[in-house]
Amino acid sequence: MNNWHRALHKCPFSLYNDFIHNKAMTYDQLYEHIVAYVAMPHTAITKHDKKRACLILGAVMEFHLDCLDEGVDPRTIDMTGFINEKLDELEKTK
């Protein structure tokens, strides 16, 4: 299991199962998953966590729109390598 799958598997919600079974998430479900990630390792969700989740969603939406403007279908982008690289960098700094 690579780092990305490990990170998904640690999610307190069902994101891992949704990912594995290719179920489409609603915006609300995506927001809840991001809020939970932002709050990790804590289980109490703060207003600050929710605000950061909104900023992250905005950045992802902007990225997708930029891709579309450049003629790139965001569904064809595989960020697994990039995410694993960032997770590896974080592991090295421990």
Q: Give me the number of domains the chain comprises.
A: 1
% of the chain residues with pLDDT over 70: 74
Predicted confidence (pLDDT) per residue in 51-70, tens digit = 999 999 999 999 999 999 99
Q: Strands of the chain (E only): list them.
A: none
The pLDDT-based confidence of 19 (bands split at 50, 70, 90) is: low
DSSP letter assigned to residue 45: P
Decide if 31 is inside a domain: yes
Host domain of residue 49 = 3-88
Decide if 38 is inside a domain: yes
Which of left, alpha, beta for 71 (phi over 0: left; psi -120 to 50: alpha)?
A: left
Residue 2: predicted pLDDT:
45
Q: How far apart are CA 13 and CA 29, in angstroms?
A: 9
Decide if 20 is inside a domain: yes
Decide if 93 is inside a domain: no
Decide if 94 is inside a domain: no
